[in-house]
Amino acid sequence: MARPVTLFTGQWADLTLDTLAEMVAGWGYDGLELACWGDHFEVDKALSQDGYIQSRHDILAKHGLECFAISNHLVGQCVSDAMIDDRHKSILPPRLWGDGSAEGVRQRAAQEMKDTAKAAKLMGVGVVNGFTGSPIWHMIYRFPPTSDAMIDAGYKEFADRWNPILDEFDKQGVRFALEAHPSEIAYDIYTAEKTLAALNHRKAFGFNFDPSHFIHQQFDPVNFINAFPDRIYHVHVKDSKVTLNGHSSILGSHLGFGDYRRGWDFVSPGHGDMDLEGIVRALNRIGYDGPLSVEWEDSGMDREHGASESVDFVKSTDFTPSNVAFDAAFEKK
């Protein structure tokens, strides 16, 4: 049986969950990956309001949809970022931003991630996707001169901030899946290895595999799956396209998404450089049977058109592995 195909609701937070669920069901999706912003899944209400969790299930059931994961990227970003500023204020609710003092924001964000684990258990899902932030992303270029000791200290700070959160995930029987991504503590294979080592390889922490963030870094996303076969806890189907032309830059040139001058950009699944079939074959090799969750981002395409064609693209590309060799029929009994 092919894997369920879901839609991540993060880019649709302007719509109510009921409105979005009706649309998604009509397009042929099997479920939703609920974002913890907008009205889709609110952690504080999940823990404080009787009937809130049931209301989420009721909306999904009305439209024949399931939920396999919730996602709290925005709050997770604020747990261990080195610099807390107006960018973070724009993605946090006022109750978490508070007075904006950096350490206060980090501590409130950390508590919210612990609460997210509790809310996930109440919702009946076993995976929370998200970001972690990074104490050292601003050091990526290694100039001004950056020592290995500085980098190591950053990984230790990350672990010190996230281990107590992961203790709560363990307590709740829920796993955290980092979407390895530029600006996070892990953004490629080597930094993912360092991240797991910093956490002593505890099982509560794995990855939300998203190939779009690897394509523009110019390494094969399949190699990430091969490197961490037991840590792929969730999968995003998201595409990006590299358009380096001798004039543009892989670093983005401080140009916003959608600007034609960028050296790469996110595009609707099937319109970029993602080899989804290669990814499916790799997921089959490692035995991943969880959802394929479309995270739709394309500044140049109507989102309803893109999301509706994406489910067809994913379902037509996904397939179950064979349990016999193709030439087994040639064997003599």
Average pLDDT over residues 292-320: 96
Which pTM value belongs to this model?
Answer: 0.95
Please, which pLDDT band fits residue 330 given cuts at 50, 70 and 90?
low
In the chain, the largest separation of any two C-alpha atoms, in whole Å, equals: 76
> How many whole angstroms separate alpha carbon 312 and alpha carbon 297?
16
Closest CA relative to residue 284, chosen from 241, 232, 248, 247:
232
> How many whole angstroms separate alpha carbon 308 and alpha carbon 43?
28
Mean model confidence pLDDT for the chain: 96
Predicted confidence at residue 329, as pLDDT, reads: 52
- pLDDT above 60: residue 271: yes
Residues 256/262/264/265 CA torsion (nearest 10 deg) = 30
What DSSP state is assigned to residue 12?
G
What's the length of the chain?
333
- pLDDT above 70: residue 325: no
Q: pLDDT, tens digit, for every residue of 93-102?
A: 999 999 999 9
Choose which CATH entry (3.20.20.150, 3.90.1170.50, 3.20.20.240, 1.10.40.60) describes domain 5-326. 3.20.20.150
Predicted confidence at residue 58, as pLDDT, reads: 98
Predicted confidence at residue 107, as pLDDT, reads: 98
Closest CA relative to residue 185, chosen from 203, 158, 209:
158
Residue 61: both structure tokens together: 């059931």
For the chain, which residues make up each domain, given as ranges?
Answer: 5-326
What DSSP state is assigned to residue 156?
H
Average pLDDT over residues 186-207: 98
Residue 16: both structure tokens together: 């109510």
Residue 195: both structure tokens together: 């991240």
Predicted confidence at residue 321, as pLDDT, reads: 81
